[in-house]
Amino acid sequence: MVKRVAIVGAGVSGLTSIKSCLEEGLEPTCFERSDDIGGLWKFTETIGHGMTKVYKSVVTNITKEMSCYSDFPFPENFPNYMKHTMVMEYLRSYAEHFDLLRCIHFKTTVKSITKHQDFAVTGQWDVVTETEGKQDTATFDAVMICTGHYLNPRLPLESFPGINKFQGQILHSQEYRSPESFQGKRIIVIGLGNTGGDIAVELSRVAEKVFLSTRSGAWVDSRLSDDGYPTHMIQTTRFLHLVARSLPSTIVNWMGKKRMSRWFNHKTYGLSNPKGRLQKRIANDELPTYILCGSVTMKINVKEFTETSAIFEDGTVEENIDVVFFATGYTYSLPFFEEPMEKFCKNKIFIYKFIFPSNLEKATLALIGHVGLQGSVIAGTELQARWATRVFKGLCKIPPSSKMMAEATKKEQLIKRGVIKDTTQEKQDYITYLDELARCTGVKPNILLLFLKDPRLAKEVFFGPCTSYQYRLMGPGKWDGARKAIMTQWDRTLKPLQTRVIPDYSEPTSISYWLKVWGPPVLFVAVLLTYKSSLQLQLMRITEMGERISTYIASTMRK
């Protein structure tokens, strides 16, 4: 029976894993190699021990209501998109509120995780840790890996001929902290993800020139919707999700492209995706403006480097380059596992629901936060942890190892033959994945039942933003405050904007309003007068239209 659980990492995944263990009556021990919680959200001026940290100016891409733990909303006065300092403040409050710090061993590095000698029977693991040079070995009934996938920077130097003779600085975005040291430099940023776009914009404020090189382009989205509300709260709803799943993918993609193109023409700005490339989406409110102002210049992929210049695939050359930043992501790494375990865990096809390795006889190892989501990582990792701990206790079941391996092997063969697409490397649809985990855990909200029992709440759940509170309405871990949190989520969204109170006064009805009211019927009457020759028929139809106009105006006034 599982009792003692080892948790590796005290970031957003590790904290919720500790809490989930405590909720299920387990005994978690968390090992964190740094001296604080927060993982990559803990900003430091320097990078040490290969740890990835946020840069100084980073702001969240997802609004606070969509990225909080399901039973712990952000404070109402926090802005919708937050700096790293506020995220850290929230994580500290979360850890203190649920008394999680007592379970964490700081400045402790996990050196190895291996199967106990009788793993086939007990499912136990031997964990070797090191604290201040002293190693210790302990046996645990289960292990939760919460290190994320930002450990090892991916630096594809082999793809760029001549880079070894380049005389300027070569850096990975992991090393970027702030722009001050790049004053007056000519810089190339390679890679257009969220980080690449942010760094290019920020560097352009102090650099002489910034070139943003991308092979595939990207759809650049704003944090604001058309009406000024946070984009994710408007777009991530169960209603729109149902519509999207009911339509052919070609139509859904076309609608998405049309929506993106309403802001600006991506092809004109050098940001569109070449045909056949995977459509990638980033959040950046400033990049289009900086391209328009000439502060950032879009470039195609670099073909090769010389000592001081870069030659691009379209034949253009940029001279006197001082710095090359590679914003090329990270390689997946689990250094505490021996081969072939590490290699196996890197193949996500064989990781059941992106959590459980399918080759283990006992489901006592869970990878938490090792999935890419089109939405909040916090909400996703929390549901992963809630389900995993219940699997550990035997309250939830997963298929036998033999069945999971057979299904994964078949899927891998179909992918190799080109029959199906490998979607494990892509970001998973937010609502689809969370609902799948919620169904396994027994916490997926029953929308039809809600409409019968609580129509107001059901309306918010179905038509409003799909916030994590929905997964606390029923089932294991039900939170009494979930309903209130859902019904007041827009209040917390608008609260930080209401710093300048404007008196509410009625304005005279605008011209546009009367045009909307009178325009269609007047236009219709004009068409009748033009194309009908019979005066009597004209008068009769005008009279009928007049009655309709009166009815329309009356109904409008009632509204």
Cβ contact 266:221 at 8 Å:
no
Among 169-173, 281-285, 509-513, the least confident range: 509-513
**Of the candidates 45, 44, 54, the residue with the CA atom closest to the CA atom of residue 82:** 54
What distance lies between CA 52 and its chain's CA centroid?
18
- What's the CA gap between 183 and 172, in Å, rounded? 18
Average pLDDT over residues 136-147: 97
The residues that bridge with 138 in the sheet, in sequence order, are: 127
Residue 246 has pLDDT above 70, yes or no: yes
Give the pLDDT score at 523. 60
- What's the CA gap between 549 and 223, in Å, rounded? 41
Entry pTM: 0.88
Residue type, 557: M
State pLDDT tens for residues 424-443.
888 899 999 999 999 999 99
What is residue 123's three-state secondary structure?
Answer: coil
- What's the CA gap between 65 and 293, in Å, rounded? 33
**DSSP letter assigned to residue 319:** -
Distances (CA, A) of 331 to 10, 153, 255, 335, 339: 20, 6, 33, 12, 17
Token pair 């919460």: residue: 146
Structure tokens at 493: 């969204």
- Count Cβ atoms below 10 Å from residue 437 Cβ, excluding itself: 22
Q: Beta 4-8 vs 142-145: how paired, if at all?
A: parallel
Give the pLDDT score at 543. 38
The residues that bridge with 283 in the sheet, in sequence order, are: 221
Average pLDDT over residues 239-263: 87
Residue 242 has pLDDT above 60, yes or no: yes
Residue type, 253: N
Average pLDDT, the chain: 89
Structure tokens at 229: 């509300």
- Helices and strands: H and E segment counts in the chain: 18, 22
- What's the CA gap between 56 and 180, in Å, rounded? 11
- What's the CA gap between 180 and 277, in Å, rounded? 35
**Of the candidates 13, 8, 41, the residue with the CA atom closest to the CA atom of residue 128:** 8
State pLDDT tens for residues 1-33.
889 999 999 999 999 999 999 999 999 999 999
Using pLDDT thresholds of 50, 70 and 90, give the confidence band for residue 67.
Answer: very high
